[in-house]
Amino acid sequence: MTAALLNSTITSLPLLARGKVRDNYAVGDDRILMVASDRLSAFDVVMGEPIPGKGELLTQMALFWFAQLRDIVPNHLTGDDPESVVRGDERAQVRGRSMLVKRLKPLPIEAVVRGYLAGSGWTEYRANQSVCGVALPAGLRNASKLPAPIFTPATKAELGDHDENISFERMSQIIGAELAAKVREISIRLYRTAADFALRRGIIIADTKFEFGLDADGTLTLMDEVLTPDSSRFWPVEGYEAAFREGHNPPSYDKQFVRDWLEQARVDGAPWGKTPPAPPLPADVIAKTAAKYREALQRLTA
């Protein structure tokens, strides 16, 4: 792993956007250089400390999944070397943590698929026995496996805001019924394929989100990241059953470790209010979080 990268500083290309994790640069009119930093966000707040190696691990995992899933839907990868589009003195910032991708028209929704009841889905289920308008059977518990994966879209939030869960009907109004149906069908196929693969490697993919765009010909294309611990809830198989029986959240490979620490963190004697700035992460939390990301990649790609 190279030195930790909190913010990229590439000046040979125009900066398009600096997101929670990725910095996007324009490469001509038709390509984007996506640089995965080592930033980590929790509760939609970017932490002040990088997680060393995180950007490289995210990129390796995304590339792995793009290859695994390429027969289901086209993706945004160009196949070009990211280092070829920056100056020589900027290549170290790009190496191993970047993708050179097609410039697409992004769909203004996130395609969320849930195979288990967790997080905001569990909260919503307890209130009305459904998630994003999808009715579910009575008697489910936190971390219950669902009878079948469900599609629960969300609107994309601006940096610092929360994504908003929406119904499939609302999604159809936003992007059109035909395209919405296609996104739902492909998203569930992607999830089923990935979840079956991961389970053979000892990982439960509880839920995940996909992002799609349209190319110049209107072809639906998988974009951004895919099936990483930042966009998915990964649980190790060996910890799931005991946690489920006891009613706890299963141990996780995602950033839940940081969230749990932040939940008990105090600022000036009071609980942190989940607004910037975040309290400084202790060294052991940073190290353990980095180890979680490494273990997830090693398990999946071993």
Residue 200 DSSP code? H
Amino acid 223: pLDDT: 97
Question: What pLDDT was estimated at residue 71?
Answer: 97
Q: Is residue 258 part of a domain?
A: no
pLDDT tens, position by position, 3-61:
899 999 999 999 999 999 999 999 999 999 999 999 999 988 999 999 999 999 999 99
User: Are 4 and 240 a contacting pair, CB within 8 Å?
Assistant: no
Q: Are residues 144 and 212 in the same domain?
A: yes
pTM (2 d.p.): 0.93
Please measure the distance between the N-terminal and C-terminal CA atoms of the chain and give it in whole angstroms.
18
Q: Could you say which of 76, 104, 132 is where a domain stops?
A: 104
CATH number at residue 69: 3.30.200.20
Cis peptide leading into residue 277 (ω within 30°): yes
Strands 145-151 and 164-165: unpaired
Q: What is the pLDDT of residue 275?
A: 92
Same domain flag for 191 and 97: no
Q: How far apart are CA 289 and CA 42, in angstroms?
A: 12
Tell me if 111 sits within 8 A of 217, measured CB to CB. Answer: no
- Whether 134 and 220 map to the same domain: the answer is yes
The answer on 211 and 167 residing in a single domain is yes
**Residue 24: inside a domain:** yes
Provide the b/e sequence for 119-150 (b: ≥16 CB within 10 Å): bbbbebbeeeeebbbbebeeebebbbebeebb
For residue 271, the cross-strand partners are 266
Do 177 and 202 belong to one domain?
yes
- What is the extent of the structural domain holding 159? 106-246
**58 shares a domain with 136:** no
CB distance 14 to 26 below 8 Å: yes
d(CA 57, CA 1): 9
- Confidence at residue 246, expressed as pLDDT on a 0 to 100 scale: 87
CB 232 within 8 A of CB 254: yes
- Residue 127 placed within a domain: yes
What one-letter code names the amino acid at 300? L
The reported pLDDT for the residue numbered 244 is 92
Inside any domain, residue 302: no
Q: How far apart are CA 145 and CA 292, in angstroms?
A: 23
Q: How many CB atoms lie within 10 A of CB 270?
A: 7
Same domain, 94 and 113: no
75 and 137 in a common domain: no
> Which residue from 138, 26, 39, 40 is spatially nearest to 85, judged by alpha carbons?
26
Number of domains in the chain: 2
Residue 201 has what pLDDT? 96
Closest Cα partner for 68 from 196, 169, 188? 196
Name the stretches of the chain with pLDDT < 70.
Answer: 1-2, 157-162
